[in-house]
Chains A and B, each alone.
Chain A
Amino acid sequence: DGGITQSPKYLFRKEGQNVTLSCEQNLNHDAMYWYRQDPGQGLRLIYYSQIVNDFQKGDIAEGYSVSREKKESFPLTVTSAQKNPTAFYLCASSSQRQETQYFGPGTRLLVL
């Protein structure tokens, strides 16, 4: 079955630690996205990528980094510079930027 997978389902971060969230898709989509979801705030765009080896900042990119070395993979690193990382993180993909986005199951990040 085609789809988007995210791992892990839960992730714990210690103070000063960088952590990486995985996102893989087998839909052959060119565009991929990372969103952060906080209660009562809907989803906010962190980074997006339209093609391999290219990515752009979204609305809340500070404290996050991404890479896009392969079409099917778009990992997100939450760096120690992100002072409030506790949230639900959702990855999505679409065939092109203006097309329908499909979402993965999410990763919940908690701070120890």
Chain B
Amino acid sequence: AQSVTQPDIHITVSEGASLELRCNYSYGATPYLFWYVQSPGQGLQLLLKYFSGDTLVQGIKGFEAEFKRSQSSFNLRKPSVHWSDAAEYFCAVITGANNLFFGTGTRLTVIP
């Protein structure tokens, strides 16, 4: 069965520190992978996506993610976190049935 795992429910970082949010997927073929961000009470905004090609993907707001097939991972990174990055982050994968399957999310807290 296809699945997406985000092992960290909650992460706290200091403003200006680097960030890495983990995402692992379980899917036989090459997946289409996404990272979305959600502020409280809001919809989801697409940060970046990977369909094929270069495994290091650049997104909006200074985020990037790297697809590693050998580790079935698609971790999200940012070199220097800003207070406005505090939100919930969702990793998602399009499965063979063309459904978008979401992880349970990682809540990011940024401390001054």
Could you list which residues of chain A lie within 8 angstroms of chain B, going by C-beta atoms? 4, 6, 33, 40-45, 48, 58, 88, 90, 92, 97-98, 100-106, 108
List residues 1-59 of chain B with CB under 8 A from any CB of chain A.
Answer: 9, 32, 34, 36, 41-46, 49
* A89 → chain B closest CB, angstroms: 10
**How far is B90's CA from A14's CA once the two chains are assembled, in angstroms?**
32
Docked CA distance A92–B99 (Å): 12
Q: Report Cα–Cα, A74/B104, bound state, in Å.
A: 25
Provide the residues of chain A in CB contact with B105, threshold 8 Å.
40, 42
List A contacts of B43 (CB < 8 A): 4, 6, 90, 103-106
The 3 closest A-B pairs by CB, nearest first: A42-B102, A97-B98, A103-B43
Least distance between B106 CB and chain A CB atoms (Å):
11
Contact B102 A106 (CB under 8 A): no
Enumerate chain A residues within 8 angstroms of B41, measured Cβ to Cβ: 88, 106, 108
Some 30 contacts from A to B, beta carbons below 8 A apart, are A40-B104, A40-B105, A42-B90, A42-B102, A42-B104, A42-B105, A43-B44, A43-B90, A43-B102, A45-B100, A58-B99, A90-B44, A92-B44, A92-B100, A97-B98, A98-B94, A98-B98, A100-B34, A100-B46, A100-B49, A102-B46, A103-B36, A103-B43, A103-B44, A103-B45, A105-B42, A105-B43, A106-B41, A106-B42, A108-B41
Chain A contact surface mostly:
strand
CB distance from A24 to the nearest CB of B (A): 14
| Residue ID in chain B nearest A33 by CB atoms | B100
Docked-complex contact B32 and A41, CB < 8 angstroms? no
Q: Which residues of B contact A102 (CB under 8 A)?
A: 46
| B32 close to A98 (CB less than 8 A) | yes
Q: A58 — which chain B residues lie within 8 A by C-beta?
A: 99
Contacts of B32 in A (CB 8 A): 98
Q: In the complex, A4→B90 CA distance in Å?
A: 20
The chain B residue sitting closest to A90, CB to CB, is B43
Q: Report chain B residues within 8 Å CB of A6.
A: 43
**Which residue of A has the minimal Cβ distance to B99?**
A45
Chain A residues near B99 (CB, 8 Å)? 45, 48, 58
